[in-house]
Amino acid sequence: MESWLGKPVAENVYKKIEEGVAIVRAKKGRPPGLGLLLVGENPSSQVYVNMKGKACEKYGLYSKTITLPTTASFNDVSNAVTELNTNPEIDGFIIQLPLPSHLPERTLLDLVDAEKDADCLAASNIGRLVLGVPEFLPCTPSGIMEMLEYYKAPVSGKHVLVIGRSQIVGRPISILLSLKGVDATVTLAHSRTKNLNELLKSADGIVAAIGVPGFIKASDCKAGSWIVDVGVNRVPADNEKGYKLVGDVLCDSTDHLHAMTPVPGGVGPMTIAQLLSNCVKAALV
């Protein structure tokens, strides 16, 4: 079985990013700018925002982080969005999810200027994606597509099963896989799908993005199939951290598979790379 690592694919993306940064500097006299809006004290979100800022520094982008407390009001967050929308040094930005429960996520995401929507989460950009004319591609799904292309995954005319229907991964990757030119036959499944085992046995490729550790067993999947495991789940472990990261796929038996992405080290490196790529693309418009 092949192990599809994200790092070599991300390195290819970063090479293109560095080329794009040089073009933006020559054209505008400044680097591309990425805005990061963090609301609350979610530990994982803090880590992700910090990683994104460090990636900007490493590859020559300017980054601006706005941090608001968990108690921030709708007006506080909307004012921060307006600040980033109107900042001429910011070409793209994200609202780090999840937001505190009292804030209306969809309403706030739709306040992001479509031309600066580096996460492709505003309704207008989701609509363009559905129509097959996207301005930007959502980061994790586009990272998955980069990996499938890099590893020459058999996709065209194949049955690909997507497990999970979130707006961040499941729904958009199902759309990207079904676009003309990619040509997969896609089934979108979820936790209430009744015949999941039957689908696993028939799918040529699987994208697991349901956010439940070990939700499916590798042994239940079709011989010769490939699996992209998007899940990053913390489970208790007897180590210094007290936890370990596992995917949505229980790797009880993998010898019969064509390929699989590990957790960690698979899809993870691609998400930040695609975010920076979207920011550079916005700066070049």
Residue 222 to residue 224: CA distance in whole angstroms? 6
Catalogue the E-assigned strands of the chain.
Answer: 2-3, 33-39, 62-68, 92-95, 159-163, 185-189, 205-208, 216-217, 226-229, 233-236, 243-246, 249-250, 259-260
Residue 180 annotated as catalytic: no
Residue 52 annotated as catalytic: yes
Pairing between β-strand 226-229 and β-strand 259-260 as defined by DSSP bridges: parallel
Looking at domain 29-115, its CATH class is alpha beta
Position 103 scores a pLDDT of: 98
| DSSP one-letter string for 155-170 | -TT-EEEEE---TTTH
Q: Please state, in angstroms and as integers, the Cα–Cα distance from residue 39 to each residue in 69, 74, 81, 85, 277, following that order.
A: 6, 11, 11, 17, 24
Residue 41 to residue 99: CA distance in whole angstroms? 10
Containing 101, the helix (H) or strand (E) segment is: none
Q: What's the chain's average pLDDT? A: 96
CATH 3.40.50.720 domain extents, the chain: 139-269
Choose, from 52, 116, 222, 281, the residue flagged as catalytic.
52
Question: 139-269 — its CATH code?
Answer: 3.40.50.720
Residue 152 annotated as catalytic: no
Phi-psi region of 277 (alpha: psi -120 to 50; beta: other; left: phi over 0): alpha
In sequence order, what are the beta bridge partners of 185?
Answer: 159
Position 10 scores a pLDDT of: 98
Average of per-residue pLDDT across 62-71: 98
In sequence order, what are the beta bridge partners of 30?
Answer: none
Q: Please state, in angstroms and as integers, the Cα–Cα distance from residue 227 to each residue in 139, 255, 259, 260, following that order.
A: 19, 12, 6, 5
CATH 3.40.50.10860 domain extents, the chain: 29-115
Residue 124 to residue 105: CA distance in whole angstroms? 15
Question: What tens digit of pLDDT does each residue of 12-58 get?
Answer: 999 999 999 999 999 999 999 999 999 999 988 999 999 999 999 99
Average of per-residue pLDDT across 274-285: 97
- pLDDT of residue 275 exceeding 90: yes
Q: Please count the CA atoms within 13 angstroms of the CA of 277 that sit on its side-chain side.
A: 23
Choose, from 96, 248, 274, 281, the residue flagged as catalytic.
96
Q: Which two tokens stand for residue 135?
A: 């301005």
For the chain, what percent of residues have pLDDT higher than 70?
A: 100
Choose, from 91, 119, 204, 229, the residue flagged as catalytic.
119
197 three-state secondary structure: helix
Residue 277 to residue 118: CA distance in whole angstroms? 9
| DSSP one-letter string for 105-134 | HHHHHTTS-GGGBTT--SHHHHHHHHHT--
Helices and strands in the chain, H and E counts: 9, 13
Average of per-residue pLDDT across 55-62: 98
